[in-house]
Amino acid sequence: MNISMKWLREYVDVDWDIDAFCDAMTMAGTKVETYEELGKEITNVVVGKILQIEAHPDADKLVVTKVDVGSEVIQIVTGANNISEGDYIPVALPGAELAQGLKIKKGKLRGVESNGMMCSVEELGLSREDFAEAPEHGIYLFDEPKELGSDVKPLFGLGDIVVEYEITSNRSDSFSVIGVAREAAAAVNKPLKMPATQYTTYPGNIDEKMKVFIEDTERCYRFVGKVITEVNIQESPKWLKDRLRSCGIRPINNLVDITNFVMQEMGQPMHAYDLDLLDYNEIHVRAAKEGEVLETLDGVKRELDPSITVIADKEKAIGLAGIMGGEATKVLETTKTIFFEAATFNGTNIRKGSKKLGLRSDASTKFEKHLDPNLASLAMERACQLIDLLGAGKVMEGVIDVYPVVRQERHITYDVERINQIVGIKLSEDEMLAIFKRLSFGIDKEAKEVIVPTFRSDVVGIADLAEEIARMYGYDRIPTTLESGTPTVGKKNKKQKIEDITKQIMEASGISETISYSFESPKAYDKLGIDSNHPLRQYATISNPLGEDFSVMRTLTINGMLNVLATNYNRRNENVRLYELGKTYVPKALPLKDYPVEAEFLTIGAYGEIDFFDMKGIIETLLTRLGVVDGVSYDADIDMPFLHPGRRAKIMYDKMELGYLGEVHPETADNYDLGQRNYIGVVSIEVLTKIANLMRAYEPIAKYPAMHRDLALLVKDDILVGQIEFFIKQRGGKILEGYKLFDVYQGEQIEEGYKSVAYSLTFRAKDHTLSEKEVSKAMDKILKGLEFELGVTLRQ
Amino acid sequence: MQNKLNEIKQKAVEAIQASTDLKKLDDVRVAILGKKGELTSVLRGMKDLTNEERPIVGKMANEVRSDIEKALEEAKVVISRKQRELKLKKEVIDITLPAKKRELGHRHPMTVVLDDIKDIFIGMGYSIAEGPEIENAYYNFDALNIPEEHPAKDEQDTFYFNEEMMLRTATSPVQVHVMEKEKPPIRIIAPGRVFRSDEVDATHSPVFHQIEGLVIDKNITMGDLKGALEVFIKQLYGDSVKAKFRPHFFPFTEPSAEMDISCVMCNGEGCKVCKGTGWIEILGCGMVHPKVLEMSGIDPKEYSGFAFGMGLERITMLRYGIEDLRLFYENDIRFLKQF
């Protein structure tokens, strides 16, 4: 909301320095975004009168003039051809600055001295759109004598300061000059001066001219109408045009300008109908009929439906209520009699209607904010006063005012102690009441009630009263305290601790953290080679996405990671190791009616100096740190088409799927323009949280010596070391402390189809030194087991 | 005999002094004190001495032996030290050769800042709460007292799956989940992803992060809100940072405020970041609206509280002087390695 200080000062006498005033407004809740002095860059331009015009001795297109600028008569050489002796004009004196940084100096034009410049509106930073009377490519000529040598800025509405306020959405009353003035009056504690609303009326019977019916009182709360006769459409006076220009509205004619002025001043949109163009002297506010067509003021024929509210005569729509008038009844230059409307429509209905029609107007923007019905009559009075003042027509006596349910002021009990408690201050009742009075609230001290004016629909309860007190008292004056309630212990839960540990382990492993989007393109699933009927394709789809690339909620985190790897690969970053802690969103059913399962995953992606077993090692380091030592197994049978069929594994813990890892399938890598071998590891944070054991218990350090045995086995090719280890563990008994694979060999001396696998086994008892016999027995058991279960024999 | 002993001692001392390494020293020892050594063979001749001479020469011989042994021992220490010194000299390295560094991974800058923020609030007695990113209309709007007309409800701002389900537009719904589940006193922060329909540019992203805060207890005042946030902001940006509270409007708090802090880039002098004002808007806050308390099952007559919300991207950008938010989601390793 932009408001000129000059205009604001009509209602409240603010003589403060502009910065202090803006601060006060901001601190009182009407935030000042910025302010701008109109024509600030223009200096030293005064009114001059052309005394003499003579031909230039050496140039046909130039003339030499003598101009009276009050204090002296100066010589100006100009190429302008629209000037005559006796004209009053704006003159830029030497040293003047004009629009776009133009500076005026004394000089010579074709050998003749010139000590200034006559100005066009463009040179003053203005345009012919605002000053229709200004000539095209010519000097601006004042239409009447002005004081010679006086500053021209006020004559063009310049020099005024326009302040831009941020109005919060709860304060529909502040979207007007009066509204902001009311806040300003409260902020600087000065009285608010309301504009004059007295005018002369002329005899007539308004009820014969028009009848108004509100057919749906949920859509229209009030309809105020007046009739103006002998309409006289002309240009508006300068003061009115200046006001409109200061808030960026182009003056058109007195009638249009009055309605725009009242809309700015009061915040109430109005509409004028050419009474003679109405087919019937009846107005109905009703829902549009299905398929009803109306041509609006902008010349567009619009098809309506019952969700849209129209102003209609007895038969047909003649205007869109609160949005835009109809073409057929609009006011023209020739209009003699008008019917003036100031109505209050349902804001929600207007918002929905204007959205549906794709038509937002200044009026609909105002109505959307829910106007006070009591404003309609006030605005009508003001408009009539201006019509009378400007001689734009004769206001017929009488008024039509259909107002089914009169909006009443709200009474709220004020509890001084409670308000002090909420804010944390200690004001007395009288101090509080003084603040309410500043805000134009009424007070019933006996009933301990404030009476809230109807334009403050946002003030409903005690918390609202507390805010009014707090903002007028000053947020900066509220003492800063530390809460003294029941203490609580701040902490992280197990999952959050595990996330922290995960990040530490990743960092220690040289892996850096990334963040990727939660939504992606459905095409990602094609790139990953996931079947069209695969359950992972059961994703939630955003109905209004920013584009296909951001349209479905990810059901796995791989696409995001591969994209990040691709970005890095494409930028020639070498040896990249990254991770993300992020969610997938798996709907329980589609369409989405309930919360989906939001599951968090650690996703690791890397290329460069890394292989499958590095990735496995990173994951196992994390598991070890989280106390998960036993029970983890790897299963090559996994349905992840984006992984290398021979280098991928499901990570299992008991029967729970903990995650998966593998090399990215070369075809998938191609789809992402990734050039080298890439590795992926995914671990479920939920499962990790379930199985992690952060408790530690002390175990005495072994006292008795260990015995070591090596075991070289001849194993069929297709047997996995994991299978061998399973039986080593199973058969080794209590005294088997550990085992370590130290060699896998294929080639010379090993039969075709076999491999040699060598382990170093460690045996130890807690309570005695092991005997040779005990160890041999355990070794025997292991070997027999391996032979029986897997056909593995000792290598000879 | 006695002369012989003196001669041996003299010779031994000379030989010991002439020895430059332990081997030679040992040769000296063997040559004199060994089984076939000079002194040993002299001592063997003791049996030929008279009874009177024997104790005198015996004593002398023992002295000579002990002196030689002592001299040997001393020489050994000296030689060992010299040899070690020599060895150390040979082992001199170029200490400016490159270090063998273990490359560590790096936390995302937003996580670094978020971890700091979590630490500050945990120290103040807050716990970390979480909530769903896909929300329903009740938690995202209604329970937060957001009216039908609020711009946030508009399709232009919110990503919808259908009328009922949407991506949360703020972390505020977590407030409601927590209040429904827990009894006061409540002190939580709720960091997380939020979503708004903004095209990607230097300051906007359709996915971004917020940190919500909520305190509910008896007798909580606006002064307490100011106090808590001032402590927080000084911990985060340093003691010299000033905070300013301005009235504002949020549907779920009343009274509501916005907090500005003195610009951390220019210390309030005025720069590009603060648009010359010396202040930057950093968070929204206010006293929890009685209606919100009531809807979540907390009696507003008994309890009051405050809530606040801030953008993690903005706070991180201010901390590190990052000018383009897109860097956060590009994840170029050269960017990540800086934090």
Closest Cβ–Cβ partner in B184, B197, B254 for A463: B254
Per residue, the 3-state secondary structure of A349-406, as one string, reads HHHHHHHHHCCCCHHHHHHHCCCCCHHHHHHHHHHHHHHHHHCCCEEECCCEEECCCC
Distance separating alpha carbons of residues A392 and A228, to the nearest angstrom: 9
Cα-based distances in Å from B8 to B14, B27, B40, B64: 10, 15, 11, 8
> How would DSSP label each residue in B54-111?
HHHHHHHHHHHHHHHHHHHHHHHHHHHHHHHHHHHHHT---TTSPP-PPPPP---HHH
Least confident of A125-139, A350-364, A498-512: A125-139
Question: Residue A307 carries which DSSP code?
Answer: T
Distance separating alpha carbons of residues A173 and A188, to the nearest angstrom: 19
Find, in chain B, the residue whose alpha carbon is nearest to that of A478.
B223
Query: Which of A456, A515, A563 is the best mutation test for B, with the most CBs of B within 10 A?
Result: A515
Q: What is the pLDDT of residue B336?
A: 97
Least confident of A249-253, B215-219, B327-331: A249-253
Among the listed residues A290, A352, A277, A275, the one whose alpha carbon sits nearest the alpha carbon of residue A321: A352
In this predicted structure, the answer to whether residue B57 has a pLDDT above a threshold of 90 is no
Q: Do the Cβ atoms of B227 and A540 come within 8 Å?
A: no
Tell me the per-residue pLDDT of B217-246, one tens digit each, with 9 for 90 and over. 999 999 999 999 999 999 999 999 999 999
Q: How far is B282 from chain A (nearest CA, A)?
A: 15
Find, in chain B, the residue whose alpha carbon is nearest to that of A463.
B254
Q: Are A524 and A559 in contact (CB under 8 A)?
A: yes
Segment holding A224, helix H or strand E: strand A220-229
Among the listed residues B211, B209, B201, the one whose alpha carbon sits nearest the alpha carbon of residue B325: B201
Distance separating alpha carbons of residues B210 and B314, to the nearest angstrom: 10
Distance separating alpha carbons of residues A426 and B225, to the nearest angstrom: 17
| B206-241 burial: b if 16+ Cβ within 10 Å, else e | bbbbbbbbbbbbeebbbbbbbbbbbbbbbbbbeeeb
Pairing of strands A643-653, A632-635: antiparallel
For residues B194-218, give the mean pLDDT: 95
- Give contacts of A591 with chain B, Cβ < 8 Å: 161-162
Give the neighbor-by-neighbor strand order of the sheet with A449-452: A410-413, A449-452, A442-444
Q: Are A3 and A245 in contact (CB under 8 A)?
A: no
Tell me the per-residue pLDDT of A90-109, one tens digit each, with 9 for 90 and over. 999 999 999 888 899 998 98
In this predicted structure, the answer to whether residue B107 has a pLDDT above a threshold of 70 is yes
Find, in chain A, the residue whose alpha carbon is nearest to that of B334.
A573
Q: Do the Cβ atoms of B107 and A503 come within 8 Å?
A: yes
Q: Are A2 and A162 in contact (CB under 8 A)?
A: yes
Specify burial of residue A127 (Cβ count, 10 A radius: 0-12, 13-18, 19+): exposed
Q: What is the pLDDT of residue A795?
A: 86
pLDDT band at A681 (very low <50, low <70, confident <90, very high): very high
pLDDT band at B151 (very low <50, low <70, confident <90, very high): low
Tell me the per-residue pLDDT of A724-770, one tens digit each, with 9 for 90 and over. 999 999 999 999 999 999 999 988 888 899 999 999 999 999 999 99
Distance separating alpha carbons of residues A463 and B292, to the nearest angstrom: 12
Tell me the per-residue pLDDT of A765-782, one tens digit each, with 9 for 90 and over. 999 999 999 999 999 999
For tokens 């005559």, what's the residue? Answer: A84
Q: Do the Cβ atoms of A595 and B134 come within 8 Å?
A: yes
* Tokens matching residue A460: 């409903």
Distance separating alpha carbons of residues A562 and A576, to the nearest angstrom: 12
* Tokens matching residue A597: 């399962």
In this predicted structure, the answer to whether residue A677 has a pLDDT above a threshold of 80 is yes
Q: How far is A36 from chain B (nearest CA, A)?
A: 15
Q: What is the pLDDT of residue A642?
A: 96
- Give contacts of B149 with chain A, Cβ < 8 Å: 169, 347-348, 351, 368, 370
Query: Which of B103, B158, B159 is the best mutation test for A, with the most CBs of A within 10 A?
Result: B159
Handedness of CA A708, A711, A712, A718 (dihedral sign): negative
For residues B89-104, give the mean pLDDT: 93
Q: Do the Cβ atoms of A423 and B226 come within 8 Å?
A: no
Distance separating alpha carbons of residues A226 and A275, to the nearest angstrom: 11
For tokens 């300051």, what's the residue? Answer: B203
- Give contacts of A480 with chain B, Cβ < 8 Å: 223, 226-227, 230
Distance separating alpha carbons of residues A528 and A537, to the nearest angstrom: 11
CA angle B323–B324–B330, rounded 5-degree value: 140
Specify burial of residue A740 (Cβ count, 10 A radius: 0-12, 13-18, 19+): exposed
Q: What is the pLDDT of residue B150?
A: 66
Q: What values do phi and psi take at B238, rounded to 5? A: 110, 155
Q: Work out the percent of chain B whose per-residue pLDDT is above 90.
A: 71
Hey, which bits of A547-695 come out as E strands? Answer: 552-553, 576-586, 597-607, 632-635, 643-653, 656-664, 678-684
Question: Residue A555 carries which DSSP code?
Answer: S
Q: What is the pLDDT of residue A47?
A: 95
In this predicted structure, the answer to whether residue A117 has a pLDDT above a threshold of 70 is yes
* Choice between A286 and B265, residue whose per-residue pLDDT is larger: A286
Q: What is the pLDDT of residue B153?
A: 67
In this predicted structure, the answer to whether residue B155 has a pLDDT above a threshold of 80 is no
Q: Do the Cβ atoms of B223 and A478 come within 8 Å?
A: yes
Tell me the per-residue pLDDT of A581-638, one tens digit each, with 9 for 90 and over. 999 999 999 999 999 999 999 999 999 999 999 999 999 999 999 999 888 999 999 9
pTM of the full structure: 0.86
Q: How far is A35 from chain B (nearest CA, A)?
A: 13
Cis peptide before B206 (omega within 30 of 0): no
Other CB atoms closer than 10 Å to residue B202's CB: what's the count?
Answer: 12
Q: How far is B331 from chain A (nearest CA, A)?
A: 6
Distance separating alpha carbons of residues A610 and B266, to the nearest angstrom: 45
Cα-based distances in Å from A74 to A44, A53, A114, A760: 14, 12, 8, 110
Distance separating alpha carbons of residues A494 and B312, to the nearest angstrom: 24
Tell me the per-residue pLDDT of A636-669, one tens digit each, with 9 for 90 and over. 999 899 999 999 999 999 999 999 999 999 999 9
Cα-based distances in Å from A20 to A15, A50, A71, A448, B131: 10, 43, 37, 35, 44
How far from chain centre, in Å, is Cα A523? Answer: 29
Average pLDDT, chain A: 94
Q: Are B292 and B276 in contact (CB under 8 A)?
A: no
Average pLDDT, chain B: 92
Give the neighbor-by-neighbor strand order of the sheet with A512-513: A512-513, A576-586, A597-607, A678-684, A656-664, A643-653, A632-635
CB pairs under 8 A between A and B: 238
Q: Are A39 and A127 in contact (CB under 8 A)?
A: no
- Give contacts of B304 with chain A, Cβ < 8 Å: 421-422
> How would DSSP label each residue in A464-520?
HHHHHHHHHH-GGGSPP----S--------HHHHHHHHHHHHHHHTT-EE----SEE
For residues A334-353, give the mean pLDDT: 94
Q: What is the pLDDT of residue A49?
A: 95
What 3-state DSSP class applies to A658? strand
Q: Do the Cβ atoms of A471 and B255 come within 8 Å?
A: yes
Q: What is the pLDDT of residue B152?
A: 59
Tell me the per-residue pLDDT of A521-568, one tens digit each, with 9 for 90 and over. 999 999 999 999 999 999 999 999 999 999 999 999 999 999 999 999
> How would DSSP label each residue in B198-255?
---BTTB-SEEEEEEEEEEETT--HHHHHHHHHHHHHHHH-TT--EEEEEEEETTEEE
Q: What is the pLDDT of residue A414?
A: 96
Provide the residue type at A609 as one letter: E
Q: Do the Cβ atoms of B160 and A466 come within 8 Å?
A: no
Q: Do the Cβ atoms of B226 and A480 come within 8 Å?
A: yes
In this predicted structure, the answer to whether residue A132 has a pLDDT above a threshold of 80 is no
